[in-house]
Amino acid sequence: MKIIPLQEGNYVVNSDKEFRLIDEFPLDSGLKMAIQPFLIVTQNDCILLDLGLGLKKNGKPLIHHLLESHGVAPEQITKMLISHFHKDHIEGIGSFEGDTFIQNFPQATIYLQSRELDFALSQQHPSYNLELLNQLQSFSNVVKLKEDKGQITDEIFYEVSGGHSPFHQVFWIRKNNEITFYGADDLPQEAYLKLHVAYKTDYDGKRAMESRKKWEQQAKEEHWKVLLYHDMKEPVLEF
């Protein structure tokens, strides 16, 4: 199993959920975080774990540039696993060209939590891009997961963690004795393991805190590799 962080950069995000590169706005106030989807390459699949901000570079999706810099063509992506629908995790799915929405990975299957999408579509909050999410509903390559936990393939497992958002989900990719865990925004940075805090920015901060304690113990016992979407220093922790 190969793990590749697709590092879009380090950002400051303000209360209006506007993301600005730290290097460009060093004096801006707000939360500081990395944005980095992950590419997982197994014998059977090329998997994207969340999709970033949907930025473009020279007229082409930044996520395409990042993949190609690692020798992976966008057409090779087979699966996309979506944790939740805050725009910094989903906007890399595609963009509008006029009135037409163009998917960045139309050949890949998108796995999302149906109840989380329903919740997101009911929100009027700058964390959500409702125009994009309404398009997502009509995609033919979407698989809507409806259970609290389950198995997508022999290698891919999911579970609704429900901390950061009501039906936020996390993923495990297991191959032989190797286990990779993606906690998305229920475990976005290494610091969340050092400070046992129920964050007010989460939908259910106490649930997220208790999940992190459980995952850390399991990670130590089973020697997981833990992927950190928002960590500016260590995208992958090995236990």
Mean pLDDT by 10 residues, the chain (239 residues): 97 87 71 96 96 95 97 98 98 94 97 98 96 95 98 98 98 95 98 91 96 98 98 97
Provide the whole-model pTM.
0.96
Q: Which residues, including other chains, have CB under 8 Å from residue 147's CB and lie 6 or more apart?
A: 160
Contact between residue 211 and residue 161 where contact means Cβ atoms under 8 Å apart: yes
Q: How far is CA 97 from CA 100, 117, 122, 131, in A?
A: 5, 23, 25, 13
Architecture of the domain delimited by 2-238: 4-Layer Sandwich (3.60)
- Please report the pLDDT score of residue 157 as a whole number: 98
Which stretches of 145-224 are DSSP H helices?
191-194, 205-222
- Please report the pLDDT score of residue 14 as a whole number: 85
Helices (runs of H) and strands (runs of E) counted in the chain: 6, 19
- Please report the pLDDT score of residue 203 as a whole number: 96
- Please report the pLDDT score of residue 17 as a whole number: 86
69 vs 87: CA distance, rounded Å: 24
21 vs 9: CA distance, rounded Å: 7
28 vs 48: CA distance, rounded Å: 31
Neighbours of 101 (CB within 10 A): 17
Q: Which residues, including other chains, have CB under 8 Å from residue 189's CB and lie 6 or more apart?
A: 33, 228, 230, 231, 232
> What is the phi/psi pair of residue 208, to 5°?
-65, -40
Instruction: List the beta bridge partners of residue 108.
Output: none
- Please report the pLDDT score of residue 25 as a whole number: 64
